Chains A and B, each alone.
Chain A
Amino acid sequence: GENVEQHPSTLSVQEGDSAVIKCTYSDSASNYFPWYKQELGKRPQLIIDIRSNVGEKKDQRIAVTLNKTAKHFSLHITETQPEDSAVYFCAASIAGNTPLVFGKGTRLSVIA
């Protein structure tokens, strides 16, 4: 089955700096790669996703890149703000066929 590795497990950045979180996956059939943000005591919520027919996707300060050959994808957050502090999860699945398999999460702290 799918295995998703995520790094780093914790990340501290100064406000205004960029943050990068990286994930690798094992199943070459996976074609859907979402990123979830989980604030303390809350549910995970989708912030951005990418499908295997696209190499990069942006939404304001957030971007995701995908390298299918290397089987890795990354989340980039620019101009970080304190409210970006949360746990971020990457995930992978075969869209419509398998459930999301999550990485172990990255605790991002943005220091004001």
Chain B
Amino acid sequence: DTAVSQTPKYLVTQMGNDKSIKCEQNLGHDTMYWYKQDSKKFLKIMFSYNNKELIINETVPNRFSPKSPDKAHLNLHINSLELGDSAVYFCASSRAGVDTEAFFGQGTRLTVV
């Protein structure tokens, strides 16, 4: 069983479009994250959700919005896509407390053309 799964794996879309990336975890974790990995391989935190509440929101454009229908899901919606949004987006989850290993999904490679 895949612990953290995200779909789609690849996404190619035109500038100006709106797209979503889905993420699900079956680990029973209470915190989920979205990270962006750019072409230089830098991993930057975008959002963190704990018990359906956004607890940290880094300085990302408001075109990006996380949506968590329940504790096991954290989807990423992106409006009005721009060329600079091209990157690999990773979903991750962890458990609050001492044991805070973050488990990553397989990533979604977004290409905006």
Could you jot down 18 A-B contacts, CB within 8 Å?
A32-B100, A42-B106, A43-B90, A43-B104, A44-B104, A45-B104, A46-B102, A51-B98, A89-B43, A95-B97, A98-B56, A99-B33, A100-B45, A102-B42, A102-B43, A102-B45, A104-B40, A105-B42
Return A67 CB to nearest CB of chain B, in Å: 21
CB of B98 within 8 A of CB of A96, answer yes
CB of A43 within 8 A of CB of B105, answer yes
Return A48 CB to nearest CB of chain B, in Å: 11
Q: Is the interface of B mostly helix, strand, loop or mixed?
A: loop
Over the window 8-38 of chain A, the binary record of Cβ atoms lying under 8 Å from chain B Cβ atoms (1 yes, 0 no) is 0000000000000000000000001010001
The 8 Å CB contact of B41, one of A42, A51, A87, is: A87
Return A39 CB to nearest CB of chain B, in Å: 12
Q: Is B18 an interface residue (CB 8 A)?
A: no
Using CB atoms, name the residue of chain B closest to A97. Answer: B96
CA–CA, A99 and B101, complex, Å: 10
Q: How large, as a class, is the contact surface on chain A? A: 20 to 34
Over the window 37-58 of chain A, the binary record of Cβ atoms lying under 8 Å from chain B Cβ atoms (1 yes, 0 no) is 0100011111001010000000
The 8 Å CB contact of A105, one of B43, B101, B105, is: B43
Q: How large, as a class, is the contact surface on chain B? A: 20 to 34
Return A102 CB to nearest CB of chain B, in Å: 4
Q: Is B66 an interface residue (CB 8 A)?
A: no
CB of B56 within 8 A of CB of A44, answer no
- Are A96 and B45 also in contact (CB < 8 A) when A43-B104, A46-B101 are? no
CB of A34 within 8 A of CB of B101, answer yes
